[in-house]
């Protein structure tokens, strides 16, 4: 009762939001998102359609209506969705130093790995009961697309077999490192893994340039945009020195115990090293941000 002796008016209920039926594509997207959420924490064989229905807040029959093939069909659709996102990780504008472009792409890639976690391992390692030849082709398509993006950054119209092999080798290394990173509890920190993988690419490119003229031209062009006294410039010079100056190790009798020849060679190297700082390989570095700014 209020002061006038009348009961206060009941509060007006908030208007209920109008129900909107999802379109076919919207519902499929919802179910795929629910599946990906589950796959991020559990292996595909441990996820049931009941689990997907519960996360999406729909009935099991509704899941079957959109995926009559059951879990294998839903797994394939989820994999395609994840693959589309994963391919975009390597799509970077072709401006600035190559090392910065690679770092930006790897930041997105490792972010994807971190977000999808167990699902990333399951999708790439295979072995799932839901795996088919089509899902294997989807994963392989991601690898080829990633390699294509990297070759685009190298600005090569018709890459030769050695350059293509080098890039695909690096993509395989990135994938393997990501899986190991998850297995090791995401240690070391993602920025350290990123920098290490960028260094890996630079080292592979310089090593390939020692025996491939196309890779050599690509390397020269890429290094023109890098600071000569920066971490990439120093690493490139160090790798180039190892590749070009280690031929004597492959000569006949190099491991046959001719210590006099070894001493002569070491003395020659010491004499060359005294000629200037460029003859001395740069010291190893632990982090890109901690690299000294002075000349190598």
Does the pLDDT value for residue 279 go beyond 60? Answer: no
Q: Grade residue 266 by pLDDT with cuts at 50, 70 and 90.
A: very low
Q: Grade residue 229 by pLDDT with cuts at 50, 70 and 90.
A: confident
CA distance 42 to 44: 6
Does the pLDDT value for residue 80 go beyond 80? Answer: yes
Structure confidence by residue, pLDDT tens digits, 166-192: 999 999 999 999 999 999 999 999 999
**pLDDT, position 267:** 45
Where helices occur in the chain by DSSP H, the ranges are: 24-39, 49-56, 60-66, 71-88, 98-116, 118-125, 133-153, 161-183, 190-209, 213-224, 231-245, 259-273
More confident residue, 113 or 263: 113
**pLDDT, position 43:** 78
**pLDDT, position 221:** 94
Does the pLDDT value for residue 98 go beyond 90? Answer: yes
**pLDDT, position 188:** 97
Decide if 24 contacts 70 (C-beta within 8 A). no
Q: Grade residue 134 by pLDDT with cuts at 50, 70 and 90.
A: confident
285: phi then psi, degrees, rounded to nearest 5: -120, 150
**pLDDT, position 126:** 57
**pLDDT, position 216:** 93
Domains and CATH numbers, the chain: 24-246+275-290 (1.10.357.10)
Write the DSSP string, 231-245.
HHHHHHHHHHHHHHH
């Amino acid at each position: 009762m209020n002061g006038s002796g009348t009961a206060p008016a009941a509060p007006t209920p908030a208007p209920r939001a109008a129900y909107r039926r999802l379109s076919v594509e919207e519902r499929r997207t919802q179910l795929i998102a629910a599946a990906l959420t589950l796959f991020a924490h559990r292996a595909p064989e441990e996820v049931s359609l009941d689990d997907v229905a519960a996360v999406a807040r729909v009935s099991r029959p509704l899941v079957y209506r959109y995926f009559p093939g059951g879990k294998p069909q839903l797994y394939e659709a989820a994999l395609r969705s994840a693959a589309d996102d994963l391919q975009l990780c390597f799509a970077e504008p072709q401006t600035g130093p190559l090392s910065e472009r690679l770092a930006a792409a790897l930041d997105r890639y490792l972010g994807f790995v971190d977000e999808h976690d167990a699902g990333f391992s399951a999708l790439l390692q295979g072995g799932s009961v839901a795996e088919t030849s089509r899902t294997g082709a989807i994963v392989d398509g991601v690898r080829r697309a990633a390699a294509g993006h990297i070759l685009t950054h190298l600005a090569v119209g018709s890459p030769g077999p050695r350059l293509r092999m080098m890039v695909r080798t690096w993509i395989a290394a990135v994938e393997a490192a990501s899986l190991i990173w998850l297995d090791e509890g995401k240690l070391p920190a993602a920025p350290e893994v990123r920098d290490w993988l960028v260094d890996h690419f630079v080292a592979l490119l310089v090593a390939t340039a020692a025996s491939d003229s196309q890779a050599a031209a690509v390397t020269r062009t890429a290094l023109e945009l890098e600071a000569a006294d920066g971490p990439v410039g120093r690493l490139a010079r160090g790798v180039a020195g190892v590749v070009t100056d280690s031929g004597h190790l492959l000569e006949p009798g190099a491991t046959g115990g001719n210590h006099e020849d070894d001493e002569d060679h070491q003395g020659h190297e010491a004499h060359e090293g005294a000629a200037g700082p460029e003859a001395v390989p740069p010291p190893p570095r632990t982090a890109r941000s901690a690299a000294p700014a002075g000349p190598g």
